[in-house]
Structure 1
Amino acid sequence: MTAPTVAQWEALEHVSHYLKGSLGRGMLYENHGHTEIVCFCDADFAGSKTTRRSTTGYCVFVGGNLVSWKSKKQNVVSRSSAKAEYRAMAQPVQEIMWVHQLIKEIGLTTSLPAKLWCDNKAALHIASNLVFHERTKHIEIDCHFVRDKIKENFISTGHVRSSDQLGDLLTKALNGTRVDYLCNKLGMINIYAPT
């Protein structure tokens, strides 16, 4: 704020342009006839240019409707994309647990296991492999947490193609058509769009 640069001004113009073009965007919640919990999680490997930390992004759906999403820089630097993605799997599991408890408290039921979608096959293998290897010992706490929830049948994991990964919206810089596609998949509508 005290000494803005041209690059910061251009970033401000970019954000302002996006906001001006998305004034009519909103969420329409519909009854899809179920209360299943589904989550898409993603990470950008070493995405921060200054710290090389990865960013975790996830979105949680209940009954086909988006109810929770988050984008956050990870606390440590990951040395591989699999480790960054695996760390990205641990955070939404906690969110799924919270959403599940909230649904129970308001008197609804939901079927378990909740589905956790990830686009990294190596991270999915770490989740399903019962043997810890030397090269994964520093993510062991996250491994135990996610594996325990898989064993309890609280979550199940699945692979999603990168082109269908909804978490990309929260972790990567995308072009306008990709943003529109992902916003559509998240259930966002534009009330000003012609019908």
Structure 2
Amino acid sequence: MLLNVGMSECKGMDSPMDDKIKLLSTHGELLEDTEEYMRLVWKLNYLTVMRLDIAYSVSVVSQFLSAPSKSHVEVVKRILWYLKKTPGKGVIYSNSNHTRIAGFLDANWVGSHKDRWSIIGYCMFLGGNLISWKSKKQSVVSRSTTEFEYRAMANLICELIRVSDILTEIGYPLECPMSLYGDNKATIYIAAKPVFHERTKHK
């Protein structure tokens, strides 16, 4: 890919995207020819199957395929610079001698700078190996971060149950209850002490 775009000798970067950058649809001067940008983003989309570390960055630049600007091109170049420096990274599967299922959740309320929609992301591990992952914008507006976190947890729980049902059908026994990990303090407090339910808008 780097050879095709003439960047085989480019410098390397430690991260695929600057976490301080906020891309908008009106960000910078628009490109006259968008075909090269589109082809490059499509190639990066295919690469995310093996390189999950660039999945978020690629999903961001994919939102501007209809009207990319020069600023968006710079972000795509940074992803390529990151790939140049990290050719050996990828998803590694190994035998961890257990069959525990665990789901990890992260939610960003009103996280999209483009349209202010909230974004959820989760990944699921079986025996310590990644088997399922997703990042998407919420289609329902939540009025608080706590409500949004609960909606995100509900999505992950549905995925955990689906995987559990599939494993049961093929005769794959589960060693212990599935685990769900999140980092929102409000939802943790409410789950730990039911008295906090009285302080929320939604009961």
In structure 2, the partner of 1:109 is: 173
In structure 2, the partner of 1:136 is: 202
In structure 2, the partner of 1:52 is: 116
Identity of aligned residues (%): 44
- 1:77-132 residue CA offsets vs partner (Å, 9 max, x unmatched): 33322222222111111111111112112221113421100101212344564957
In structure 2, the partner of 1:71 is: 135
Aligned counterparts, 1:158-169, within 5 A: none
User: Which is bigger in relative contact order (C-alpha 8 A, separation at least 6)?
Assistant: 1
Asked whether the 8 Å contact 1:46–1:78 carries over to 2, the reply is no
TM superposition shift of 1:7? 1.2
Give the TM-score taking structure 1 as reference length.
Answer: 0.61
Asked whether the 8 Å contact 1:34–1:63 carries over to 2, the reply is yes
Give the TM-score taking structure 2 as reference length.
Answer: 0.59
Which is greater in Rg?
Answer: 2
In structure 1, the partner of 2:11 is: none
Higher strand share: 1
Are positions 1:28 and 2:28 aligned together? no
CA RMSD of aligned residues (A): 2.3
TM superposition shift of 1:26? 2.3
Give the match's secondary structure for 2:76. Answer: helix
- 1:11-58 residue CA offsets vs partner (Å, 9 max, x unmatched): 221222233334322222222221111111010121112322211011
Give the match's secondary structure for 2:90. Answer: strand
Task: Specify whether residues 84 and 33 from structure 1 end up closer, same or farther in structure 2 by C-alpha distance, changes over 3 A only.
Answer: same
Among candidates 161, 186, 191, match of residue 122 of structure 1 = 186
Task: Specify whether residues 19 and 136 from structure 1 end up closer, same or farther in structure 2 by C-alpha distance, changes over 3 A only.
Answer: farther
Partner letter of residue 172 of structure 2? L
Structure 2: unaligned runs, 5 residues or longer:
1-33, 35-65
Partner letter of residue 202 of structure 2? T
Task: Specify whether residues 77 and 22 from structure 1 end up closer, same or farther in structure 2 by C-alpha distance, changes over 3 A only.
Answer: farther
TM superposition shift of 1:133? 6.9
Give the match's secondary structure for 2:97. Answer: coil
Give the match's secondary structure for 1:97. Answer: helix
Give the match's secondary structure for 1:69. Answer: strand
In structure 2, the partner of 1:16 is: 80
TM superposition shift of 1:3? 5.2
Are positions 1:90 and 2:172 aligned together? no
Quote the Cα distance in structure 2 between the aligned partners of 1:24 and 1:127.
41
Task: Specify whether residues 132 and 95 from structure 1 end up closer, same or farther in structure 2 by C-alpha distance, changes over 3 A only.
Answer: farther
Give the match's secondary structure for 1:27. Answer: coil
